[in-house]
A and B are shown apart, each in its own frame.
Chain A
Amino acid sequence: MDDAQLQEMKEHAPALAALYHTGCETILHAADTAALEQARVETLGRKSPLTEMLRAIPTLAPETRPLIGKAGNLVRREFEALVERREAELKQAALADSLEHERLDVTLPGQPFPAGHEHLISQTMREVEDIFIGLGYRIAEGPEVELDYYNFTALNTPPSHPARSAHDTFWVVEQRETMPEAVVDADRGVLLRTHTSPVQVRTMERQRPPVYVVCLGKVYRRDSDATHTPMFHQVEGLVVDEGITLADLKGTVHHFTQEFFGGEREIRVRPHFFPFTEPSIEVDVACELCGGKGCRSCKHSGWLEIMGAGMVDPAVYDFVDYDPEQVSGFAFGMGVERMAMLKHGIPDLRLFYDNDVRFLRQF
């Protein structure tokens, strides 16, 4: 309402002007939302003076009706605008107040979502699997209770081979319809696999080259101390294809160690002996703690042994009817616990099987 309109109203409708004046005061002085609602009812409600005045227009003299009607509506719109304005003001004030005064102790713990943990061995095996899947391998599987044939004989380790005595095998009391009479040697047919290598033979029996597989799982040896548990986990890899070389093995292993341990960890390849590979090697990675200078953790050698490997021995091909003049291949094996221990600095193998939640929840 501009000044001219107000002046005109004062002249021609002084009652309305007075009403306008008090109404404005009421609305603008409302201190909170409740008072504002009260003021809205008082100024704009059905029983408000304004509404009553407008309702009374038909009773006025015809010449004054338009004037009062027009001014009354003007006042109503003015009131409505003021209520809206005051409402916004109060909201703003309330917001400012809450921002000024409401304070949480943000150092209290957050509401936790349940978050469990896959066992570190599972995580490590998955990580290894993924690296080799990336190289085009598939995951092969085989039984843990295994035939002597797959665990030893077909891996070029016939009965009476001295390498067998190093394996500390758990033998299984067999279930057969007819038990042979020579009992002493009879329960030497079924065992708990001592390594994941029998899966090599099972895989080659099932498929022709090219073979690119890794096998991960539980293995068993009759040994228990700080560095041995009677059950542990291994990863086995097998590649058989045309023209596979020891250089391919070395490159594959180095790719793996860099992916797994990160960074530029050097590797070292040493000759070794396994009945089922020829040539056979062991692979060391540079000790991370001392950077290769030598420390307690690497027995002062600067290197940590992580893997046994080699070119598949032609004698193994004989058992699965592959032709070593047509194909060649490599195999490698490593301990999952050892890989995890090296990666995470875990000092004692037995922690993996204590299942102490303080351990399980760290990874």
Chain B
Amino acid sequence: MRVPFSWIKEYVDWQGTVEELAELLTMSGTETEGIDWVGAPRDPENLSRFVVGKVLTRDKHPNADKLSLCTVEVGEAGGGVRQIVCGADNFGAGDVVAVSLSGAVLENGLKLKKANLRGVESDGMMMSEQELGYEEKSPGIVVLPSDWVVGAPLQDYLPVSEAVLELELTSNRPDCFSIYGIAREVAAAAGLELAPPPTAGPAVTGGAPAAEAIAVEVADAGLCPRYAARVIRGVTVGESPAWLKARLTHAGMRPISNVVDVTNYVMLGWGQPLHAFDAGKIRGGRLIARRATAGERIVTLDGVERTLDDQMLVIADVERPLVIAGVFGSVDAEVDGQTTDLVLEAANFAGPSILRTELHTGIRSEASNRFEKGLDADLVPGGLDFAARLFEELCGGTVAPGVVDVWSGRPAPPRLVYRPAKTEELLGYAVPAAEQAGILRRLECGVDEGGGCESASASGSAASTAGEWTVTPPSFRPDLTREVDLVEEVGRVAGYGQAPETLPRHRTAGGLTGPQKVRRAVRRALAACGLDEAITYTFIAADALEPLGLPDGDARLDTVRLSNPMSVEQSMMRTTLLPGLAGAVRDNIDRQNDAPNLFEIGSLYLWDDQTVPAPAHAAEPGAVLPHEPEALGVVLAGPLGAEHWTGAQRPTDFFTLKGVVESLLATLGLRGEFVPPGEAAARFPYLHPGKAAVVGVPGAGEVGALGMLRPDVSAAYGVDDADLYFAEIDLGRLAPAALATPAFRDIGAYPPAAQDLAVIVGRDVPAAAVVDQARRAGGKLVRSVRVFDVYEGDQVPADRRSLALRVVMGSPERTLSEKDIAGVRAKILKALGREFQATLR
């Protein structure tokens, strides 16, 4: 909310600066986000150049039809009489006007200079409200009340320069949504006196009583606890005076007409939203607060036809709805230029209902923003009186005697048990009881230090109620319903700055769970491989999965969809990390970055067979939450490691990707088994079937797949010129098997022996099968077998290839003899020959 500094000083005698006021408000719970200086530059010298002036003569400009030549009295300090050329024609000799003298810097930053206008010197300017910054466009200059002292600083009467406090209000404090409410906070926090409410009614009333002009019927008291009206006759709709325009504009509202401006001014100042009806347009002389009928239509003031439902309250006449109650008026009973008689509404509407209507209509107005928080029904009479007086003073109206007020009466105020000791216990430091009582009283709570009320003493003996007070919060504080709410009031007004800093007495030990340790290890391992971690949006586009070619019935196609997405590009939750990672690769390539190698760890969202039923106490029967497995995605798009002048670089290929996965698994203490996808290929249709593998881990089963993305899939994600290699691993499956405590294995006292064997086998024989066979055939002396070279070419038949195996042998008991080694070699060769028709190269 925007709070003009000069306005709040009408209600509380604040002697400090606006900055000090901002600090006080912030530290007592009303956060000041900033101070907006509006109007002309605020230095005293500049402000001294804005004065009240009086037009002495007004003559035609000798050389211009549309200009007039005036002499203006601006007072002794301003140099007596000035000659001013003016283009407006809404004034005459004798009018009191706002003058800016030469040298003044105006609100728009321009500096006023003596000027020669069509051959005549003009020394100063008579100002319009536009030039004062009070409205966007003014037809003429501002004519001021005739009793303003000529020569006096204009700032004494009008805010030529204003400091506006920008407050961030919280939804629990409807009482703060008015200047008077903020003044009350200031008074309580600073220990100042608050001015009486600005709600004095009209001095005189006249004509037939209000009740004869209008009848009020409340059909739904639940949604409308209070509805009151006054009647004002004979108003002249016109412009508001400058001071009122200034107030509204500085507070962030646009001046419209005197009638509308008065209702807005009272809402801003006092907090009670008002609605002015053109009395002549209310059919049947009756206002009815009722629920809309489902499908009922209303054309709101913005010209939009809206369809209502039966949960919404309207204010209707006998024929049609006139207002969406507390939210927005309609064109049907709008005040216009011909309006003379008004029915002024001040009502109290149920906050939740207003909130719901806002959500369903998408309308949020200054009024509904206040009503939704639950206003005090006691604001109503003050609002009516305040506005009625202003209608009389500013719009020339005559206020009819009496108020039509439909209200079942004030509910009994809550009486709260309050223990000063409990406050100290919760805050952790002492606040003297007298200070606590003083704070509560300054907040207009009734405080009875005599003893607890009945509901509390029922459970305990008389002794236990010692130190219990009874506190009665004021009606404008609906947020104070429990003892703890009062604890906060005392704490915040006393100031948290005095709170000491302590640490809890710990009774637990900190630490990470297994899966949390795994997650950290995975990040460390992949960063160590040279990959950068990406975090992509978990929302994906509605068509993001289409390039994958997933088969019908695949769980990844049954996505979690948002009912109110921000865009179709972010309309559902991901079921694979691929679209996000591919997009990150594309974005980097588009920015001419190195082709990136990325990984991401995050949730997938699946309506699969592992959805989570909501507990009975938390949701309606049948409600479920999606399964959120944690996944790891890896994408390689370019060489790992920067290009180096020595020429050393890793290729971007399947085996680099596999190496990354192997390295990751090794960090976790796991060994992967990589097999061609076979039948599983149908689940990974986006991978090149000949350059892909499914990876399994003993004890965890299949944990994921890796391989080259089909080039048409890469292209569909916007990557045309690079092969992408992608792996996706289910971390949830991996975690239980990972990071087992490794048991020591004897490294042996005797040196190992190595033998290299090059065997020629069919090209389709998997290397892993040859290695596995060799390991088993070699017997217990074999420590390890690995492929260290693969050859295909002229030296071997076309359908075969040579695999060079390094067999490392050893024994815990002795150094191996030539005979031992030859024996192992022979066994391996024999087995490979038998199983794979392998021949020694």
Residues from chain B with Cβ under 8 Å of A190 in the complex? 623, 625
Query: Looking at the complex, which one of B27, B587, B596, B601 makes contact with A270 (CB distance below 8 Å)?
Result: B27
Q: Measured between alpha carbons, how far is A222 from B562 in the docked complex, in Å? A: 11
Within 8 A of B (CB), among A105-159: 108-109, 111-119, 121-122, 126, 129, 132-139, 143-150, 154, 159
Whether A136 touches B509, Cβ cut-off 8 Å, given contacts A145-B625, A148-B619, A355-B534, is: yes
Whether the pair B625, A147 counts as a contact (CB closer than 8 A) is yes
Whether the pair A271, B29 counts as a contact (CB closer than 8 A) is yes
Whether A121 touches B491, Cβ cut-off 8 Å, given contacts A111-B644, A273-B170, is: no
Within 8 A of A (CB), among B495-512: 496-497, 499-512
Say yes or no: is A304 at the interface (Cβ < 8 Å to chain B): no
Say yes or no: is B420 at the interface (Cβ < 8 Å to chain A): no
Whether the pair A144, B532 counts as a contact (CB closer than 8 A) is no
- What is the 8 Å Cβ interface bit string for chain B, positions 35-76, against chain A (1 contact, 0 not)? 000000000000000000000000000000000000000000
13 contacts between A and B (CB under 8 A): A138-B510, A145-B605, A146-B625, A210-B507, A230-B537, A252-B503, A271-B29, A271-B491, A271-B492, A355-B588, A355-B596, A357-B594, A360-B532
Q: Measured between alpha carbons, how far is A43 from B524 in the docked complex, in Å? A: 64
Q: Measured between alpha carbons, how far is A299 from B32 in the docked complex, in Å? A: 11
Whether the pair B355, A250 counts as a contact (CB closer than 8 A) is no
- What is the 8 Å Cβ interface bit string for chain A, positions 338-358, against chain B (1 contact, 0 not)? 000000000000001111111
- Chain B nearest CB, measured from A355 CB (Å): 4
Query: Looking at the complex, which one of B29, B427, B504 makes contact with A272 (CB distance below 8 Å)?
Result: B29
Say yes or no: is A241 at the interface (Cβ < 8 Å to chain B): yes
Segment of B6-14, B565-573, B713-721, B828-836 engaged in the interface with chain A: B565-573
Within 8 A of A (CB), among B634-655: 640-642, 644-646, 648, 650
Whether the pair B531, A272 counts as a contact (CB closer than 8 A) is no
- Chain A nearest CB, measured from B421 CB (Å): 13
Q: Measured between alpha carbons, how far is A200 from B628 in the docked complex, in Å? A: 19
Say yes or no: is B352 at the interface (Cβ < 8 Å to chain A): yes
Whether the pair B534, A162 counts as a contact (CB closer than 8 A) is no
Query: Looking at the complex, which one of A119, A122, A137, A170 makes contact with B565 (CB distance below 8 Å)?
Result: A170
Say yes or no: is B334 at the interface (Cβ < 8 Å to chain A): no
Segment of B468-476, B481-489, B738-746 engaged in the interface with chain A: B481-489
Segment of B384-392, B610-618, B773-781, B812-820 engaged in the interface with chain A: B610-618
Whether the pair B614, A300 counts as a contact (CB closer than 8 A) is no
Whether the pair A176, B624 counts as a contact (CB closer than 8 A) is yes
Q: Measured between alpha carbons, how far is A163 from B561 in the docked complex, in Å? A: 25
Size range of the interface on A? 35 or more
Q: Measured between alpha carbons, how far is A184 from B310 in the docked complex, in Å? A: 13
Query: Looking at the complex, which one of B28, B500, B511, B605 makes contact with A133 (CB distance below 8 Å)?
Result: B511
Say yes or no: is A54 at the interface (Cβ < 8 Å to chain B): no
Whether the pair A160, B352 counts as a contact (CB closer than 8 A) is yes
- Chain B nearest CB, measured from A332 CB (Å): 13
Closest Cβ neighbor of A178 among chain B residues: B622
- Chain B nearest CB, measured from A311 CB (Å): 6
A117-B532, A246-B426 are known; give 14 further A-B pairs, CB within 8 A. Answer: A115-B528, A117-B533, A122-B523, A134-B510, A145-B626, A177-B622, A231-B539, A247-B501, A248-B428, A250-B499, A251-B503, A270-B26, A279-B484, A355-B598
Whether the pair A122, B640 counts as a contact (CB closer than 8 A) is no
- Chain A nearest CB, measured from B619 CB (Å): 5
- Chain A nearest CB, measured from B153 CB (Å): 28
- Chain B nearest CB, measured from A113 CB (Å): 7
Within 8 A of A (CB), among B299-341: none
Whether the pair B504, A246 counts as a contact (CB closer than 8 A) is no
Whether the pair A138, B503 counts as a contact (CB closer than 8 A) is no
Whether the pair A248, B502 counts as a contact (CB closer than 8 A) is yes
Whether the pair A218, B538 counts as a contact (CB closer than 8 A) is yes
> What is the size, in residues, of chain B's interface with A at 8 Å between Cβ atoms?
114
Closest A-B pairs by Cβ, 9 of them: A114-B530, A245-B428, A247-B428, A271-B29, A160-B352, A273-B170, A251-B501, A271-B492, A279-B488
Whether the pair A180, B620 counts as a contact (CB closer than 8 A) is yes
User: Considering residues A119, A150, A180, which has the most beta carbons from chain B within 10 angstroms of its beta carbon?
Assistant: A119
Say yes or no: is A236 at the interface (Cβ < 8 Å to chain B): no
Whether the pair A173, B561 counts as a contact (CB closer than 8 A) is yes
Say yes or no: is B15 at the interface (Cβ < 8 Å to chain A): no
Closest Cβ neighbor of A214 among chain B residues: B510
Whether the pair A356, B563 counts as a contact (CB closer than 8 A) is no
Whether A270 touches B623, Cβ cut-off 8 Å, given contacts A144-B603, A230-B566, is: no
Seen from chain B, the residues whose Cβ lies within 8 Å of a Cβ on chain A are: 26-29, 31, 33-34, 170-173, 351-353, 355-356, 358-360, 372-374, 425-429, 482, 484-485, 487-488, 491-492, 496-497, 499-513, 516, 520, 523-524, 526-539, 560-566, 570, 573, 584, 587-588, 591, 593-594, 596-599, 601-603, 605, 607, 611-612, 614, 617-620, 622-626, 628, 640-642, 644-646, 648, 650
Whether the pair A245, B426 counts as a contact (CB closer than 8 A) is yes
Residues from chain B with Cβ under 8 Å of A132 in the complex? 510
Closest Cβ neighbor of B624 among chain A residues: A175
Whether the pair B527, A117 counts as a contact (CB closer than 8 A) is yes
Query: Looking at the complex, which one of B488, B523, B599, B644 makes contact with A112 (CB distance below 8 Å)?
Result: B644
Q: Measured between alpha carbons, how far is A313 from B487 in the docked complex, in Å? A: 11
Whether the pair A139, B563 counts as a contact (CB closer than 8 A) is no
Q: Measured between alpha carbons, how far is A313 from B485 in the docked complex, in Å? A: 9
Whether A112 touches B642, Cβ cut-off 8 Å, given contacts A143-B625, A145-B560, A270-B27, is: yes
- What is the 8 Å Cβ interface bit string for chain A, positions 13-35, against chain B (1 contact, 0 not)? 00000000000000000000000
Q: Measured between alpha carbons, how far is A255 from B504 in the docked complex, in Å? A: 12
Whether the pair A119, B535 counts as a contact (CB closer than 8 A) is yes
Q: Measured between alpha carbons, how far is A108 from B647 in the docked complex, in Å? A: 13
Whether A355 touches B648, Cβ cut-off 8 Å, given contacts A162-B372, A243-B505, is: no
Within 8 A of B (CB), among A40-67: none
Whether the pair A247, B534 counts as a contact (CB closer than 8 A) is no
User: Considering residues B511, B563, B593, B640, which has the most beta carbons from chain A within 10 angstroms of its beta carbon?
Assistant: B563
Say yes or no: is A291 at the interface (Cβ < 8 Å to chain B): no
User: Considering residues B425, B510, B641, which has the most beta carbons from chain A within 10 angstroms of its beta carbon?
Assistant: B510
Whether the pair B171, A163 counts as a contact (CB closer than 8 A) is yes
Query: Looking at the complex, which one of A114, A121, A222, A356 makes contact with B587 (CB distance below 8 Å)?
Result: A356
Residues from chain A with Cβ under 8 Å of B617 in the complex? 149
Residues from chain A with Cβ under 8 Å of B28 in the complex? 271
Residues from chain A with Cβ under 8 Å of B642 in the complex? 112
Whether the pair A270, B532 counts as a contact (CB closer than 8 A) is no
Whether the pair B488, A278 counts as a contact (CB closer than 8 A) is yes
Closest Cβ neighbor of A354 among chain B residues: B587
- Chain B nearest CB, measured from A25 CB (Å): 47
Closest Cβ neighbor of A330 among chain B residues: B504
Residues from chain A with Cβ under 8 Å of B499 in the complex? 246-247, 250, 269
Whether the pair A118, B533 counts as a contact (CB closer than 8 A) is yes
Say yes or no: is A224 at the interface (Cβ < 8 Å to chain B): yes
Whether the pair A272, B170 counts as a contact (CB closer than 8 A) is yes
Say yes or no: is A280 at the interface (Cβ < 8 Å to chain B): yes
Residues from chain A with Cβ under 8 Å of B622 in the complex? 176-178
Whether the pair B428, A270 counts as a contact (CB closer than 8 A) is no
Say yes or no: is A165 at the interface (Cβ < 8 Å to chain B): yes
Q: Measured between alpha carbons, how far is A22 from B741 in the docked complex, in Å? A: 73
Residues from chain A with Cβ under 8 Å of B591 in the complex? 356
Closest Cβ neighbor of B29 among chain A residues: A271
Whether the pair B171, A160 counts as a contact (CB closer than 8 A) is no
Residues from chain B with Cβ under 8 Å of A187 in the complex? 563
- Chain B nearest CB, measured from A102 CB (Å): 18
Whether A119 touches B573, Cβ cut-off 8 Å, given contacts A356-B588, A357-B594, is: no
- Chain B nearest CB, measured from A105 CB (Å): 10
Whether A143 touches B628, Cβ cut-off 8 Å, given contacts A273-B171, A311-B426, A357-B594, is: yes
Say yes or no: is A254 at the interface (Cβ < 8 Å to chain B): yes
Q: Measured between alpha carbons, how far is A355 from B591 in the docked complex, in Å? A: 11
Residues from chain B with Cβ under 8 Å of A161 in the complex? 171
- Chain A nearest CB, measured from B592 CB (Å): 10
Residues from chain A with Cβ under 8 Å of B506 in the complex? 135-136, 212
- Chain A nearest CB, measured from B360 CB (Å): 8
Whether the pair A246, B496 counts as a contact (CB closer than 8 A) is yes
Whether the pair B648, A360 counts as a contact (CB closer than 8 A) is no
